[in-house]
């Protein structure tokens, strides 16, 4: 039953329906009946705001979910994700450093800074978890969260000293309301990264079985590990730069899919991507209609739903282990 | 044939494996025995290139394994480590399919699928093929791992303590499967094993390690001898021939008494 619910065709249909709804929800009224009879203003809204918003939700949701999936596989820990490994905080710190050093920095420049620090942060995290011998499933993400907390404090400190606190608060709570054409296209870079992730799906699964296991099968473990970490860091940086932090996503979506479909990435990567997009789309639409005509930021909506799902996940795990 | 020439492994200043040389005959089961800390698993890991050695060579059919590409070696030797415990939810069939990775890199051909089916049949895992590994019993899981190495189809198969956590019935079952692989498919199997009687009953050759060095290496009849084993394990060991097998009896100084009591009891019945 649950297996069927996660069939890829059903998920895609749900996503398409939500995407259509997303295109027609907003302050400027736009109805499906008028689709062939749009005023210039309405056409404009569709092209510059609604369409970019919907597309960026799909890309951001899908790619963050997939990057969480890859991280969990490579670290062999279900609680590791771009949030719980601190990658998001590093990406944010990167943007801030870029802004402070070059106030007129463009989107690509911010991305570059963000990417460098995200990669650095991910590698540091991997170094720490390979050095420490305590392999408790909860202990590993706790280290990541602490590391992320430290990085985030540094960012806040720098922001305070440079009077840019308002700027970083924009990235603290991810939101798609600022996504308009001309400002989000950079997110398309995630698509080739997702394609690489799909091509490597089998290798990531083998790597998740361990280094010795990979070596026995003649796979270059280190190369696969670094490919995966690069993809996750790059995706995280891209999303943080364009829409800001989306917490929990990379954590809960892969876990939900894994519960029903197992851990073979070739089998789960598509469902994870589509479910990630569905979840973000759902939260974004809800955030747009709840206090209409105002908006609740999607980051907050995701955090609300995400924390409940996360608690349920932990509860379920405790129950099955007992 | 695999020739191991003077391999050494250092952890810090301590030599955990010291100048070990041995040769592994084709088409036989060779057991590595020895007390805890003798370096059995380390030797196994070095022969199978999972662990770098500090000196020495391992020659596979005369060629150094450390200079061969990993992807080619994966078609010649396979290794199952005891640490293959995992939390991942992978089905039995998916696990066995990993065995074809060296050939297909994950894109399974019809031929691969046929070989996977065959490995499932060989290990009688048909009814479990869609179950997740973590739902299986220890014996079934060990069979699934061995099925994976069958799918990998290497001439040499290395197993690190394959009987760990298995009861007698499943241990015997696994050893019989290994004998069958040698007999029917001419595989060469090398196992690290703790139970000396399983080594005695099921292997052709035995290599005994002690303190990181080879204590003795030879056919099982050359190694399963009272004075040799007592020297290796530093305890009293008596060897009895029971139903054509050399069985070691090693229950400390009371062993004789226990045997006497047993004989008396038998006599009364």
Rounded CA Rg of chain A:
20
Q: Name the residue facing A262 among B49, B80, B89 (closest C-beta).
A: B89
User: Which among B153, B171, B191 is the end of a domain?
Assistant: B153
**DSSP secondary structure code for residue A33 in this structure:** G
Contacts of A266 in chain B (CB under 8 A): 106
CB contact under 8 A, B81 and A212: yes
CB contact under 8 A, A216 and B91: no
In a shared domain, residues B94 and B45: no
Tokens of B146: 């061995």
Q: Is residue B265 part of a domain?
A: no
CB contact under 8 A, A205 and B50: no
Give the span between the Cα atoms of B205 and B32, in whole angstroms. 9
In this predicted model, what pLDDT tens digit does every residue of B204-215 receive, in sequence order?
A: 999 999 999 999
User: Which among B128, B153, B178 is the end of a domain?
Assistant: B153
pLDDT at position B269 is 63
Q: Name A164's Cβ contacts closer than 8 Å, sequence gap at least 6.
A: A96, A99, A100, A158
CB contact under 8 A, A212 and B87: no
In a shared domain, residues B175 and B60: yes
Contacts of A205 in chain B (CB under 8 A): 88, 90
pLDDT band at B58 (very low <50, low <70, confident <90, very high): very high
pLDDT band at B259 (very low <50, low <70, confident <90, very high): low
Contacts of B132 in chain A (CB under 8 A): 262
Nearest alpha carbon to residue A199 among A231, A151, A164, A238: A231
- Split into its structural domains, chain B has a count of 2
pLDDT at position A297 is 87
Give the span between the Cα atoms of A129 and A115, in whole angstroms. 21
pLDDT band at A66 (very low <50, low <70, confident <90, very high): very high
CB contact under 8 A, B88 and A206: no
CB contact under 8 A, B83 and A212: yes
The alpha carbon of residue B133 is apart from the nearest alpha carbon of chain A, in Å, by 10
Give the span between the Cα atoms of B127 and B69, in whole angstroms. 37
Q: Name the residue facing A217 among B69, B72, B102 (closest C-beta).
A: B102
Residues of B with CB under 8 A from a CB of A: 45, 48-50, 69-75, 78-81, 83-84, 86-91, 94, 98-99, 101-102, 105-107, 132, 152
**Omega within 30 of 0 (cis) for the link into A238:** no
Q: Name A69's Cβ contacts closer than 8 Å, sequence gap at least 6.
A: A250, A253, A254, A257, A265, A268, A269, A272
Alpha helices in chain A (DSSP H): 2-5, 8-23, 40-45, 51-75, 87-101, 107-131, 139-161, 165-172, 190-199, 201-208, 211-216, 221-242, 249-261, 265-290, 298-321
In a shared domain, residues B14 and B130: no
Q: Is residue B250 part of a domain?
A: no
Q: Angle CA(B63)–CA(B65)–CA(B66) in degrees, nearest 5?
A: 125
In a shared domain, residues B142 and B39: no
Give the span between the Cα atoms of A291 and A296, in whole angstroms. 7
Residue B83 has pLDDT above 90, yes or no: no
For position B44, which CATH number holds?
Answer: 3.40.50.300
Q: Is residue B259 part of a domain?
A: no
Residue B244 has pLDDT above 90, yes or no: no
In a shared domain, residues B88 and B203: no
User: Which among B105, B123, B153 is the end of a domain?
Assistant: B153
CB contact under 8 A, B71 and A218: yes
pLDDT at position B252 is 63
pLDDT at position A187 is 93
CB A267 within 8 A of CB A261: yes
Parent domain of B142: 84-153
Residue B85 has pLDDT above 60, yes or no: no
- Residues of chain A with pLDDT > 70: what percent? 96
Residue A3 has pLDDT above 80, yes or no: no
In a shared domain, residues B206 and B89: no
Q: Is residue B107 part of a domain?
A: yes
In this predicted model, what pLDDT tens digit does every residue of A183-231 receive, in sequence order?
A: 889 999 999 999 999 999 999 999 998 889 999 999 999 999 999 999 9
Q: Is residue B102 part of a domain?
A: yes
Look up the pTM and report it.
0.89
Q: What is the mean pLDDT of residues A288-294?
A: 87
Contacts of A215 in chain B (CB under 8 A): 49-50, 70
CB A288 within 8 A of CB A229: no
Q: Name the residue facing A217 among B81, B90, B98 (closest C-beta).
A: B98
Give the span between the Cα atoms of B206 and A112, in whole angstroms. 59
Give chain A's length.
322
Coil vs helix vs strand at A217: coil
Give the span between the Cα atoms of A65 and A59, in whole angstroms. 10
CB A289 within 8 A of CB A110: no
Residues of A with CB under 8 A from a CB of B: 76, 78, 201-203, 205-206, 208-210, 212-213, 215-220, 258, 262-264, 266-267
Residue B184 has pLDDT above 80, yes or no: yes
- Residues of chain B with pLDDT > 70: what percent? 91
In a shared domain, residues B143 and B162: no
In a shared domain, residues B97 and B71: no
pLDDT band at A310 (very low <50, low <70, confident <90, very high): confident
CB B241 within 8 A of CB B247: yes
DSSP code string of B5-57: EEEEEEETTEEEEEEEEEEE-TTSEEEEE-STTSSHHHHHHHHTTSS--SEEE
Residue B254 has pLDDT above 60, yes or no: no
pLDDT band at A103 (very low <50, low <70, confident <90, very high): confident
In a shared domain, residues B166 and B201: yes
Give the span between the Cα atoms of A313 and A247, in whole angstroms. 16
**Domain ranges for chain A:** 52-321
Give chain B's length.
269
Q: Is residue B187 part of a domain?
A: yes
A246 phi, psi to nearest 5 deg? -120, 95
CB B7 within 8 A of CB B59: no
In a shared domain, residues B141 and B20: no
Give the span between the Cα atoms of A297 and A166, in whole angstroms. 16
Q: Is residue B32 part of a domain?
A: yes
The CATH number, out of the four listed (1.10.3470.10, 3.30.230.80, 3.30.70.20, 1.10.3720.10), of the domain defined by the range A52-321? 1.10.3470.10
Q: Is residue B253 part of a domain?
A: no
In this predicted model, what pLDDT tens digit does every residue of A35-55 receive, in sequence order?
A: 777 788 888 888 888 899 999
CA dihedral A75→A76→A81→A87, nearest 10 degrees, is -10
The alpha carbon of residue B254 is apart from the nearest alpha carbon of chain A, in Å, by 42
CA dihedral A74→A78→A79→A84, nearest 10 degrees, is 30
In a shared domain, residues B8 and B125: no
Tokens of B161: 């303590």
In a shared domain, residues B20 and B142: no
In this predicted model, what pLDDT tens digit does every residue of A125-156 receive, in sequence order?
A: 999 888 876 667 778 888 899 999 999 999 99
pLDDT band at A175 (very low <50, low <70, confident <90, very high): confident
pLDDT at position A314 is 79
The alpha carbon of residue A58 is apart from the nearest alpha carbon of chain B, in Å, by 27
């Amino acid at each position: 039953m649950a297996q069927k619910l996660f069939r890829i065709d059903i998920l895609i249909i749900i996503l398409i329906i939500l995407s259509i709804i997303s295109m027609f929800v907003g302050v400027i009224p736009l109805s499906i009946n008028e689709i062939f009879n749009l005023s210039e203003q309405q056409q404009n809204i569709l092209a510059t705001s609604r369409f970019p918003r919907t597309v960026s939700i799909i890309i951001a949701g899908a790619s963050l979910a997939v990057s969480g999936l890859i991280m969990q596989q490579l670290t062999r820990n279900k609680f590791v994700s771009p949030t719980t490994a601190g990658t998001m905080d590093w990406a944010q710190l990167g943007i801030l450093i870029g802004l402070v050093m070059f106030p007129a920095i463009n989107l690509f420049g911010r991305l570059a800074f963000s990417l460098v620090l995200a990669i650095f942060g991910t590698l540091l995290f991997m170094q720490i978890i390979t050095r420490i011998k305590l392999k408790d499933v909860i202990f590993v993400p706790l280290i990541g969260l602490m590391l992320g907390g430290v990085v985030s404090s540094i960012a806040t400190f720098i922001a305070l000293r440079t009077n840019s606190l308002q700027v970083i608060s924009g990235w603290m709570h991810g939101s798609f309301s600022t996504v308009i054409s001309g400002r989000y296209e950079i997110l398309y870079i995630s698509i080739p990264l997702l394609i690489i992730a799909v091509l490597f799906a089998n290798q990531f699964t083998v790597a998740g079985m361990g280094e010795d296991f990979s070596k026995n099968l003649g796979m270059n473990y280190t190369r696969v590990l670094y490919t995966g970490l690069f993809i996750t860091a790059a995706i995280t940086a891209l999303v943080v730069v364009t829409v800001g932090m989306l917490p929990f996503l990379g954590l809960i979506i892969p876990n939900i899919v894994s519960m029903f479909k197992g851990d073979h990435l070739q089998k789960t990567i598509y469902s994870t991507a589509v479910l990630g997009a569905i979840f973000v789309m759902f939260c974004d639409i809800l955030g747009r209609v709840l206090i209409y005509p105002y908006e609740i930021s999607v980051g907050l909506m995701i955090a609300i739903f995400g924390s409940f799902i996360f608690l349920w996940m932990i509860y379920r795990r405790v129950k099955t282990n007992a | 044939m695999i020739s191991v020439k003077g391999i050494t492994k250092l952890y810090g200043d301590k030599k955990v494996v010291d100048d070990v040389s041995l040769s592994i005959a084709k088409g036989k089961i060779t057991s590595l025995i020895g007390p805890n800390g003798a370096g059995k698993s380390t030797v196994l890991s070095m022969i199978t290139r999972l662990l770098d050695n500090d000196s020495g060579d391992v020659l596979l059919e005369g060629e150094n394994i450390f200079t061969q590409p990993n992807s080619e070696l994966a078609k010649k030797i396979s290794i199952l480590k005891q640490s293959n415990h995992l939390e991942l939810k992978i089905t039995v069939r998916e696990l066995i399919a990993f065995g074809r990775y060296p050939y297909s890199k994950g894109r399974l051909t019809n031929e691969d699928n046929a070989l996977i089916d065959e490995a499932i049949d060989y290990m009688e895992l048909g009814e479990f093929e869609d179950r997740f590994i973590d739902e299986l019993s220890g014996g079934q899981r060990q069979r699934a791992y061995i099925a994976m190495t069958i799918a990998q189809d290497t001439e040499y198969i290395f197993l690190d303590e394959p009987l760990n956590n298995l009861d007698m019935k499943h241990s015997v079952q696994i050893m019989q499967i290994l004998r069958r692989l040698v007999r029917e498919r001419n595989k060469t199997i090398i196992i690290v094993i703790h139970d000396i009687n399983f080594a005695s009953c099921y292997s052709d050759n035995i290599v005994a390690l002690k303190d990181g060095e080879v204590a003795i290496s030879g056919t099982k009849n050359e190694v399963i001898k009272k004075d040799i084993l007592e020297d290796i394990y530093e305890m009293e060991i008596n060897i009895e021939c029971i139903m054509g097998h050399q069985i070691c009896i090693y229950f400390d100084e009371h062993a004789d008494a226990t045997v006497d009591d047993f004989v008396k009891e038998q006599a009364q019945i």
